[in-house]
Amino acid sequence: MASSTGQPTSTSSSVRTVRRGSSRPTHVSAATERGVVAFLGVDDAVAVTSGTAALHTALLAAKVGPGDEVIVPSMTFCATVQAILSVGATPRFIEINPATLCVDHQLVLEAVTAATAAVMPVLFGGRAVDLGPIHSELDERGIAVIEDAAHAFGSSNGTRHVGATGTLTCFSFGPVKNLTCGQGGMVIPRTPQEADVIRRTRLLGVVPSQDERANTTNYRVEGFGLRYQLSALNAAIGLVQLDGFQAAAHTRRHLWRTYREALAPLDRVTLVDVDVDHAVPHLCQIRVPHRDEVFASLRRRDIGVGVHYPPNHLQPAFAAWHRCLPATERAGEEILSLPFHQHLTETDIDRVVNSLEQALTSVRGS
Ligand SMILES: Cc1ncc(COP(=O)(O)O)c(C=O)c1O
């Protein structure tokens, strides 16, 4: 059934349960927002179409714009960089700690310039990044921290969930993420004002919201906006996935530890450390010599390996912001993502690790 706005008001039993005090159903994405709010223990969460939209709207909410520099690791998905460019700001690429593929507070501090408006740490593979030691210094300089937590839904930073530390945080709920909506994203704003900006931006700049508009004949377009609302269909998927999230998180940790144990005897393989006791792992990444040959050999054995990610400072689109980043470039040549998701079995992991061993032997012998 569709409302007069063309938005579905009821698509499934989950949607039908989404009702306010009155009998009028609210948009199901509001229920998914409330589910995330309850899970994280935060005041608010704003659902959008993707992790990229979350990063874009978070940058707008933090008032980052033309002339501003944003500190970002080159080792991230290109979406992080495109979001920075989409607000007219420029990326300042920095190095990562080779053991974790994440930035640390020293690397961030060294990169701060007079033009820095924000820092975007990427919580690589699900690992939290603690910029606590430099928070007050960044605050004093008016530098916002906007976490790209696309990989890290459910992970913890110390004793608090990522997203619940008071930092502007962006999640992706894409198809292979820790929590999926099929396609979706969420911003955890720092203030009600930031939440308002993101809610208005995701609705083409229109206020009031669709739910509030039900009884009025007019609306106002108050500013810039895009079509960034999370669809009811995607929101409903997320709502159901949230119910099973703790079990999925437990399985992901267990499978990551199983990989760790199985990989330990392989002397030329280094596991990228996700801090599994605090993280909900999104990736299981290793570093290997002759990565391209090992990759090809595993693909021939029908093992679905990948590379997350080719460094961004080497991409043609971002050449204007190239810097010399040797640790990132070396990582870019060695990293290999092993198949990883909560539906793997221990037998699957045995097969992957045996195939990896064979691939390393054949590469060494060639
Ligand atoms: C680190 C990182 N940032 C941002 C994104 C963008 O998220 P989405 O694909 O939901 O737009 C992704 C997606 O894979 C990602 O891995």
DSSP-based three-state secondary structure for 8:
strand
- Would you state the structure tokens that stand for residue 63, as one six-digit string? 């008032």
144 CA distance to ligand 1 centroid (A)?
20
Q: Can you give the pLDDT at residue 14? A: 39
Give distance in angstroms: CA of 311 to centre of ligand 1. 15
- The answer to whether 180 and 243 have CB atoms below 8 angstroms apart is no
Cα(27) to ligand 1 centroid in Å equals 24
In angstroms, rounded to a whole number, what is the distance separating the alpha carbons of residues 261 and 241? 29
63 is catalytic: no
Whether 187 and 199 have beta carbons less than 8 Å apart is answered as no
| Amino acid 21: pLDDT | 44
User: pLDDT tens digits, the chain, 366 residues: what are they?
Assistant: 333 333 333 333 334 344 444 444 568 999 999 999 999 999 999 999 999 999 999 999 999 999 999 999 999 999 999 999 999 999 999 999 999 999 999 999 999 999 999 999 999 999 999 999 999 999 999 999 999 999 999 999 999 999 999 999 999 999 999 999 999 999 999 999 999 999 999 999 998 777 777 778 889 999 999 999 999 999 999 999 999 999 999 999 999 999 999 999 999 999 999 999 999 999 999 999 999 999 999 999 999 999 999 999 999 999 999 999 999 999 999 999 999 999 999 999 999 999 999 999 999 765
- Cβ of residue 50 lying under 6 Å from some atom of ligand 1: yes
Which of 286, 303, 285, 283 is CA-nearest to residue 358? 303
Q: Which residue out of 75, 77, 82, 187 has the highest number of ligand 1 atoms within 8 Å of its CB and is therefore the one to mutate?
A: 77
Structure tokens at 3: 């409302």
What structural domains does the chain harbor? Answer: 13-243 (3.40.640.10), 246-365 (3.90.1150.10)
Nearest residue to 86 via CA among 114, 52, 50 = 52
Q: Which of 177, 190, 253, 287 is catalytic?
A: 177
Instruction: State if residue 150 touches ligand 1 by the CB under 6 angstroms criterion.
Output: yes
Angstrom CA distances, 300 to 295, 307, 308, 360, stand at 9, 16, 19, 13
| Whether 145 contacts 119, CB under 8 Å | yes
Shortest-distance atom of ligand 1 to CA 148: 3
Q: What pLDDT does residue 100 have?
A: 97
Residue closest via CA to ligand 1's atom 10 equals: 51
Pairwise CA distance, residues 74 & 59, whole Å: 18
Distance 170 CA to ligand 1 centre (A): 9
Amino acid present at 149: A
Regarding the beta carbon of 185 and ligand 1, being less than 6 Å apart is answered: yes
- pLDDT score of 366: 57
Ligand 1 binding pocket includes 172 (Cβ within 6 Å)? yes
Please tell me the predicted confidence (pLDDT) of residue 365: 67
Distance 358 CA to ligand 1 centre (A): 32
CA distances from 356 to 203, 270, 289 (A): 48, 13, 12
How many whole angstroms from 75 Cα to the centroid of ligand 1?
A: 12
Ligand 1 atom having least distance to the Cα of 52: 11
Q: Give the DSSP letter string of 195-249.
A: HHHHHHHTBTTEES-TTGGGG-S--EE-S---B-PPPHHHHHHHHHHHHTHHHHH
Contact status, residue 152 vs residue 201, Cβ threshold 8 Å: no
Nearest C-alpha to atom 7 of ligand 1 is from which residue? 51
Q: Distance between CA 363 and CA 261 in Å, rounded?
A: 23
- Coil/strand/helix, residue 116: strand
Predicted confidence at residue 3, as pLDDT, reads 35
Closest atom of ligand 1 to CA, residue 308? 16
**Ligand 1 atom closest to Cα of residue 184:** 10
C-alpha separations of 322 from 56, 121, 314, 316, 317 in Å: 22, 18, 7, 9, 10
The answer to whether the CB of 165 is under 6 A from ligand 1 is no
Q: Give me the numbers of helices (H) and strands (E) for the chain, helices first please.
A: 12, 14
User: CA quadruple 350, 356, 357, 359: dihedral positive or negative?
Assistant: positive
Say whether 171 sits in a helix, a strand or coil: strand
pLDDT at 364: 76
